[in-house]
Structure 1
Amino acid sequence: MQTDSSFTFVLFGGTGDLSMRKILPALYEAHRAGGMLADSGKIVAVARHAADRGEYIQWVNEHVKPHVSKNGVDETAWSSFLERIEFVKIDLGNPEDFALLRDAVKDLPGIRVFYLATGPSLFVPICRALASVGLNENARIVLEKPLGYDLKSSNAINDAVGEIFAEEQIYRIDHYLGKEPVQNLLALRFGNALFEPLWRREWVESIQITIAEELGVEARGDFYDNTGALRDMVQNHLLQLLSIVAMEPPHSMDSDSVRDEKLRVLRALKPINPLDIGKVAVRGQYHSGVIRGTAVPAYATEPGVKPNSTTETFVALKVEIENWRWAGVPFFLRTGKRLADRVAEIVVNFRAVPHSALGASALRAGANRLVIRLQPNETIRLYCLAKQPGEGMNLASVHLDLAFDQFFREGQMEAYQRLLLDVINGRLALFVRRDEQEAAWRWVEPILNEWKASNKPPKPYAAGTWGPAAASAMLAQHGTCWLEEEN
């Protein structure tokens, strides 16, 4: 991907964890690849925890290098990458400091990208301060999640930011949309005649979408205890993945065509009756347990977590889409912390053949299945039945693999790298539009409100397991199970 797009990339929260682990490593990889970033492009880090550029570069050397290429750092490329970086010391709580930023970028070339790798409470003050010094022109603004705490607070942020930046200037980032298998899901569906006729209620029995983490809340206890898994993962990541899986074919891959179809899915989500929430929504909280031989503490004893906290660290949902393509097909969504494995995957379970002349084995569950693995290894695997060698018609499950790292010789692009390049080059298709976000919050809110009103504690589960037993029971009621339970 060659580009001549000159840019000035301003990174707020320049010493923060997200900048160190994801944003700067992604920009370095694009720089190292050659041709992805215009030679004139500059990175301006904004923070108050470094005294000057020299100290900031020392910080970057110490904290960013461990998170870059698996093959190690190319010292020549690293040295030239550091030459792109400038630093401005700013107190974000003092709007007058933004004049320093204005002076630092006024003579730098190209489109200005402002990446807000900060807490959401700073989004509006930063945007207003940028406007006060005239930096909202010829600019794009990138907003990290979470964007608000509920529909009301999300709208308040969007309203305030929208007074300063036009919608086409606003890039609400969801890094799962930048993952290679998600992009390949679109290619498989809309580039091949094989899948599209099967991608509907007549041939799909159920769909599972899982984002599981082995880690706990780490150093984010204060944030997480006021957020929980439903806000942190379901409202954005899981519903965005669901909309990609279930969307109708767009007439083109331009930004609004893709996002229009995703929005139609979100608006077609069947509202959950508060009386049914106990049947279709499971919330859990991890207790102490063992993960890969290491004992880990209970959520309630993690640093920053309130004693006797009722915040959920696990959510499983049964979701339905009220349209002709998907009516009656259950979508099972699941996410949690301190689970048995780190995995993100989409599982499409196709219906068994209506009649088998080959015996009962041709009717068994899991024989016809598509598994799209997003992490840790990005693969797409199609399961089908084949005859076992030897006498008789004995069938066995086999699979066809698309392992990207083996099939394509060039290295895969990480999600943040793809998304940052899209911001620089003005491509909005993989970013969340405001009406999408509102539709997601509108669907999630009744669940949040019912959980708050009922005041029932989350169901406990031991760290290192796959969550509360109720999540498995919910699927059993529909004659199915989670993928790892079947295996």
Structure 2
Amino acid sequence: MDTISPCHFVIFGATGNLTTIKLLPALYHLERAGRLADALEFIALARRDWSQDDWAEHVQLALQSKLGEAFDGVIAARLIDRFTYVRGDYSQPEAYQALMEVLSRPKSGVCENIIFYLAIRPADFLNVVTHLHNAGFSGKVARHRIVVEKPFGEDLESARMLNMQLHTHFDEEQIYRIDHYLGKETVQNLIVFRFANSLIEPIWNRNYIDHVQITVAEDKGIDSRAGYFDSSGALKDMLQNHMMQLLTVMAMEPPATLDADALQDEKVKVLRSIRTIPREAVNSYAIRAQYSAGTVGNEEAVAYREEENVADDSTTETYVAAKFYIDNWRWKGVPFYLRTGKRLQEKMTSIFIRFKHPPQQLFQNTSLQNIEPNWIVLAIQPHECMHIELHAKEPGLDMNTRRIDLKAPYRDEGEASLDAYETLLLDIIDGDRSLFIRFDEVEWAWQVVDPILRHWAVADSYVHTYPAGSWGPDEATRLFDSDDQNWRNQIEQA
């Protein structure tokens, strides 16, 4: 696929939360960095009966609210000047006629490369794609690009149907499926950590690693997302997509190159190697729970079923923990434990790698006989750092040990932090698909969790609970393969 720079960037749902909170600040940062071509124009399409001045005021207020003291009015004015606001209901053909009129008179001449960003409900994707096709925008000669946000389907069957219908109008190379976790700098750094350090790769396998834990913890509840979350749950909202992406990056083989297809091929190999969970054994592989009332920090929190717009008898999980085995040469027998939940003790996204005990216990007759195994901790957010825990002898006459924690922060002091969307939007504009999700990745990720979804759909209504402000239900420890395995809740151990 050619990567001729696009002339237009159309945002559907331009007044929604995603655009306001994520896309506009990211575009502002790209404008400030000089990464947007002079010829690139933006079209904001939304239902609100706004004028161009109303849109300009909305953008300025949104950026001021997000950026605070870092807001620069000159940069904001340059970005606003790129935009044309189009009022239209994207479910109606008239909106596409209005869109066509604007696209037919670009400031910098006519081009056939347009980005369509669907910052809308996933339920409306196919409706918009069909209208784009009917309006003549899906042609495979003109290399338009269409961007869709997760979730990509609600289960395996719906994901396959969505892919089939998208492919009716667009080639796979024209479709950019966003998982914003892949745009995070610290997640991209995992690839560098894995493959740019010769001392890591030789020990990154079943011979040395005991198990891997991936934790995505949130201290907040569902806020105003009950309408979406209560029909989705933590398994679909987080584990099936974000956490599966982290797992594949951690477990994949070195790609031949950093091209999109080479990276995606290796991630798909991991997903295809994950052991199928027997339906009769789902309870041994996964556990679900809801938060009950409790205290998070200094804030009192109500139970999930007491949240606004949540049914009194809801069985939707706000917490899920699961274990997976990757049955390939590198990882055979190594459990990968994944957990995510809302209203947990603190916000944290981290990967914990625990190594095996040394093969010979040389210190069994000394005070070191119960020495703890080594860990590598890769903290993604809000902490951005790497820790390696080693053991060394304490100074003195006796054979006593102490743990040495080697710390490496991701950023040096004063280095700016970017949101994931800056990277992803720039890649969309440049035509680089390496940080996006290919259709077979979507389908295999759904296939991995499908036995859990099917079992929970017909299982009895009982769901475990955990107090808000805790680290989840006690029952989650039953997933571990041995007594010396347990959830690690802290970046640094006491």
TM-score bracket relative to the smaller structure? over 0.9
Match of 2:100 among 93, 99, 102: 102
Displacement, 1:141?
Answer: 0.8
* Aligned residue-pair number: 481
- What residue number does 1:37 align with? 36
Q: Distance in 2 between matches of 1:161 and 1:450?
A: 29
Displacement, 1:155?
Answer: 1.5
CA 323–98 in structure 1, closer or farther in 2 if over 3 Å, else same? same
Residues 402-428 of structure 1, C-alpha deviations (whole Å, 9 max, x = no match): 212226x64243211111111111111
- What residue number does 2:58 align with? 59
Consecutive unaligned residues of structure 2, counting only runs of 5 or more, are: none
- Residue 387 of structure 2 corresponds to residue 381 of structure 1: yes
Match of 1:281 among 286, 290, 306: 286
Residues 339-383 of structure 1, C-alpha deviations (whole Å, 9 max, x = no match): 111111111111222235455548633x42111111112212222
Q: Select between 238-247 and 466-475 the one with higher mean Cα deviation.
A: 466-475
- What residue number does 1:453 align with? 458
* 8 Å Cα contact 1:102/1:135 also seen in 2: no
Q: Distance in 2 between matches of 1:384 and 1:455?
A: 46
Q: Distance in 1 between matches of 2:183 and 2:368?
A: 38
Query: What is the correspondence of 1:15-414 to structure 2 with a 5 Å cutoff?
Result: 15-34=15-34, 36-68=35-67, 72-108=70-106, 111-136=113-138, 137-357=142-362, 359=366, 361=368, 364-365=371-372, 367-406=373-412, 410-414=415-419
CA 12–307 in structure 1, closer or farther in 2 if over 3 Å, else same? same
Residues 83-123 of structure 1, C-alpha deviations (whole Å, 9 max, x = no match): 12221111012123201111212333563111111111110
Give secondary structure in 2 for the equivalent of 1:406.
coil
Paired residue type of 1:401: K
Q: Distance in 2 between matches of 1:107 and 1:379?
A: 49
Residues 313-332 of structure 1, C-alpha deviations (whole Å, 9 max, x = no match): 10000111111100110100
CA 94–325 in structure 1, closer or farther in 2 if over 3 Å, else same? same
Displacement, 1:476?
Answer: 7.1
Residues 434-480 of structure 1, C-alpha deviations (whole Å, 9 max, x = no match): 01110111121111111111123220111111111111333374521
Paired residue type of 2:59: V
Give secondary structure in 1 for the equivalent of 2:169.
coil
Paired residue type of 1:91: D
Displacement, 1:51?
Answer: 1.6
Give secondary structure in 2 for the equivalent of 1:405.
coil
Match of 1:428 among 428, 433, 453: 433
* 8 Å Cα contact 1:362/1:395 also seen in 2: no
* 8 Å Cα contact 1:320/1:327 also seen in 2: yes
Task: Provide TM-score, normalisation by structure 1.
Answer: 0.94
* 8 Å Cα contact 2:63/2:71 also seen in 1: no
* 8 Å Cα contact 1:220/1:304 also seen in 2: no
Paired residue type of 1:400: L
CA 476–328 in structure 1, closer or farther in 2 if over 3 Å, else same? closer
* 8 Å Cα contact 2:6/2:115 also seen in 1: no
Displacement, 1:259?
Answer: 0.3
Q: Select between 332-341 and 300-309 the one with higher mean Cα deviation.
A: 300-309
- Residue 422 of structure 2 corresponds to residue 417 of structure 1: yes
Displacement, 1:218?
Answer: 0.8
Q: Distance in 2 between matches of 1:145 and 1:305?
A: 22
CA 437–276 in structure 1, closer or farther in 2 if over 3 Å, else same? same
* 8 Å Cα contact 1:404/1:412 also seen in 2: no
Task: Provide TM-score, normalisation by structure 2.
Answer: 0.93
Give secondary structure in 2 for the equivalent of 1:83.
helix
Displacement, 1:386?
Answer: 2.8
Q: Distance in 2 between matches of 1:296 and 1:304?
A: 16
Q: Select between 106-115 and 459-468 the one with higher mean Cα deviation.
A: 106-115
Displacement, 1:248?
Answer: 0.6
* 8 Å Cα contact 2:6/2:114 also seen in 1: no
* 8 Å Cα contact 2:367/2:399 also seen in 1: no
* 8 Å Cα contact 2:45/2:86 also seen in 1: yes
For the aligned residue pairs, the C-alpha RMSD in angstroms reads 2.0
Displacement, 1:393?
Answer: 3.9
Displacement, 1:142?
Answer: 0.8
CA 387–458 in structure 1, closer or farther in 2 if over 3 Å, else same? same
Q: Distance in 2 between matches of 1:353 and 1:386?
A: 14
Q: Distance in 1 between matches of 2:462 and 2:146?
A: 39
CA 42–355 in structure 1, closer or farther in 2 if over 3 Å, else same? same
CA 397–8 in structure 1, closer or farther in 2 if over 3 Å, else same? farther
Q: Select between 104-113 and 238-247 the one with higher mean Cα deviation.
A: 104-113
Q: Select between 14-23 and 38-47 the one with higher mean Cα deviation.
A: 38-47
Q: Distance in 2 between matches of 1:360 and 1:228?
A: 47
